[in-house]
Amino acid sequence: MRIAGVDLAWRSQKNPSGLCIGKISDDVVRVTEIYPAIYGVAKVLEVLLGASDLCGIAIDAPLIIKNQSGQRLCEKNLSKLYGSRWASCHPSNKTLYPNAKSVELSRKLEQEGFSHLGSEKWQIECYPHPAIIEMFGLEKSLPYKKGRVLEKKDGQKRLANFLKALSGSKIFRLCFKIDVPNIDDKYIDSLRGKQLKNNEDTLDSILCLYIAALYRLGIKSTTFGTVEAGYIYVPQQYCM
């Protein structure tokens, strides 16, 4: 059984996305493929549909946008609960994103049989920040996306070490069948500019992959919103 995690760039034609594919076997999810910098929805779709026996995908991006302005209701409700813990949502609406590539990707996946919050072949929208809080038992989310370069690197190293620690999880063990320098402290310290941002995307895609595994397992979770108006899936399971 194969699953995928995608950290999709909101403006995916200009900025790269991160993508990770893994295989579930018993209580282990093994990372088998990593694509650290993919440009464009067409290429993301090509990689996903080229993965044989792919049953599920967790995507960090707004997949359903119906509101003309402001935030989606799922974003408002999630932010009420996690805003004070550094995990509120950015607004997504048709004014900001009139032709959102994330919505385009989701619709094309639906046409290929990946239903929202489905059971056999599915796609889910996820959001790393609240998932990090719940999975790793943190008071606040990790500050690895903003701040000075050293602060970003420290945040990435903390997230990478959490991901490596999942190799001993009693919920789902995370293992790597390929060499993944992205989770190595020295490698992260060596990064500059776009390379550092690309590594952030890769770490997020690995996290999304693990969230996909948790969804497949059916662990305790909260889904903010609805498939009709937009939703965000957040695992509520401590995994360490």
Give the residue from 122, 125, 141, 121 showing the smallest Cα distance to 133: 141
Helix, strand, or coil (residue 105): helix
Instruction: Please say if the pLDDT value at position 68 is more than 70.
Output: yes
Contact status, residue 29 vs residue 173, Cβ threshold 8 Å: yes
Of 26 and 228, more confident: 228
In this prediction the pTM is 0.97
Q: What is the pLDDT of residue 13?
A: 72
pLDDT digit string, tens, across residues 83-130: 999 999 999 999 999 999 999 999 999 999 999 999 999 999 999 999
Helix, strand, or coil (residue 178): coil
pLDDT digit string, tens, across residues 156-176: 999 999 999 999 999 999 999
Q: Are strands 17-25 and 122-125 parallel, antiparallel or unpaired?
A: unpaired
Q: How confident is the model at residue 12 (pLDDT cuts 50, 70, 90)?
A: low
Q: How many CB atoms lie within 10 A of CB 156?
A: 25
Those residues whose C-beta lies under 8 Å from the C-beta of residue 13, and which sit 6 or more positions away, are 39, 40, 41, 101
Report helix angle 73-82 to 128-136, nearest 10. Answer: 40
Mean pLDDT score across all residues of the chain? 96
Which two three-digit tokens encode residue 38?
């993919």
Q: How confident is the model at residue 182 (pLDDT cuts 50, 70, 90)?
A: very high
Q: What is the pLDDT of residue 202?
A: 97
Q: What is the pLDDT of residue 146?
A: 86
Q: What is the pLDDT of residue 10?
A: 76
Q: How many CB atoms lie within 10 A of CB 187?
A: 16
Q: What is the pLDDT of residue 139?
A: 97
Q: What is the pLDDT of residue 14?
A: 81
% pLDDT > 90, the chain: 95
